[in-house]
Amino acid sequence: MKKLTSCLWFDNQAEEAAKYYTSIFKDSKMGTIAHYPDDSDNPSGLPRGSVMVANFELNGNQFMGLNGGPVFKFSEAISIVVNCKDQEEIDYYWEKLSGDGGEKSVCGWLKDKYGLSWQIVPDNMEEYLNNPDKGKRDRAFAAVMKMTKIDIKTIEQAAEGK
């Protein structure tokens, strides 16, 4: 079975974005870079010979950055979820991905400097939001709804009614 690869459409920053993302994620690597042919026009309107595709891997997940010109933009309809083992990881990814021109949102969501949406959440977020104890579940959900960056301790305390 073939792996799935997410294709991310950029105006002309695919290689730059790939290098940026691989500098943030510790288990990552750059892949192949392909260029638009020197001897033909391309539909993106980008110069001949410019980067067409930058492939990269983040935590075992394959991505392809495509330079397609200013036709499409990212929206919150698609986001990448980063499941974090602890608050330190949440803080790290939150600051790295929202920094340098990014935009912080609510409930652990942010946009990076390229406009791509990310969700920075604890590994066990579903345990809080699917807790069989309705009171714990509702209190955890209410706490998350008030947050920008996720704070695990606050969620735990809310779930326990503290």
Q: Quick: pLDDT tens for 29-70.
A: 999 999 999 887 778 888 889 999 999 999 999 999 999 999
Residue 43 is predicted with a pLDDT of: 80
Given a cut of 70, whether residue 122 has pLDDT beyond it is yes
> For the chain, what is the mean pLDDT?
95
Residue 3 is predicted with a pLDDT of: 86
Mean pLDDT within 6-34: 97
**What CATH code would you report for 1-71?**
3.10.180.10
Amino acid type, 18: A
**What CATH code would you report for 74-162?**
3.10.180.10
Answer left, alpha or beta for residue 142, where phi above 0 means left and psi between -120 and 50 means alpha.
alpha
Query: Among 69, 68, 65, which Cα is nearest to 80's?
Result: 65
Delimiting residues of CATH 3.10.180.10 domain(s) in the chain: 1-71, 74-162
Task: Identify the three-state secondary structure at position 136.
Answer: helix
* This prediction's pTM: 0.93
pLDDT band at 1 (very low <50, low <70, confident <90, very high): low
